Amino acid sequence: QVSVLYFARSAELAGLRCETLSVPRQITSLQLWEEIVKIHPRLAVIRDQVVFAVQQEYVLLGDQLLVLQPGDEVAIIPPISGG
C-alpha cells in the first residue's frame, strides 16, 4: 500500500487530496498512473502534463521500474502555471 497525494488540478479532478492504494510492489511509473486513472478516470485529461514524485523524487511517466515499499508516498503534481 502506498499513500497517493493529489495537488492542485489533480486534487480537483480526483475529488480528494490523499488516499491509500494497494498496488504491486514492482510497477512502472506508467502502470502506476494507469492504476490511478482506473480509480479516478477524470485524471486522464492531465496525463501529458503530470509529473510523479515518489518519496519526493521526480519520476517521468514511462517504463521506469519503481520498487515501492509499504507506506511510500506518491505525489501527483500537475503543471503549475505562474510567472
Q: Angle at CA 61, nearest 5°, toward 28 and 26?
A: 15
Q: Report the predicted TM-score, pTM, of the whole model to 2 decimal places.
A: 0.89
pLDDT at res. 5: 97
In this structure, what CATH number is given to the domain that contains residue 14? 3.10.20.30
Q: Are 54 and 74 in contact (CB under 8 A)?
A: yes
Q: Is 59 a member of any domain?
A: yes
Q: Is residue 11 part of a domain?
A: yes
Alpha-carbon gap, residue 72 to 70, rounded angstroms? 6
Residue 83 lies in a domain: no
Is the residue at 37 inside a domain?
A: yes
Say how many domains are in the chain: 1
pLDDT band at 80, cuts 50/70/90? low
pLDDT tens-digit map of 26-60 = 999 999 999 999 999 999 999 988 888 999 999 98
Q: Is residue 60 part of a domain?
A: yes
Specify if 82 maps to a domain: no
Domain extent for 8: 2-77
Judge whether 38 and 59 are in contact, CB under 8 Å. no
How high is the pLDDT of residue 9? 92
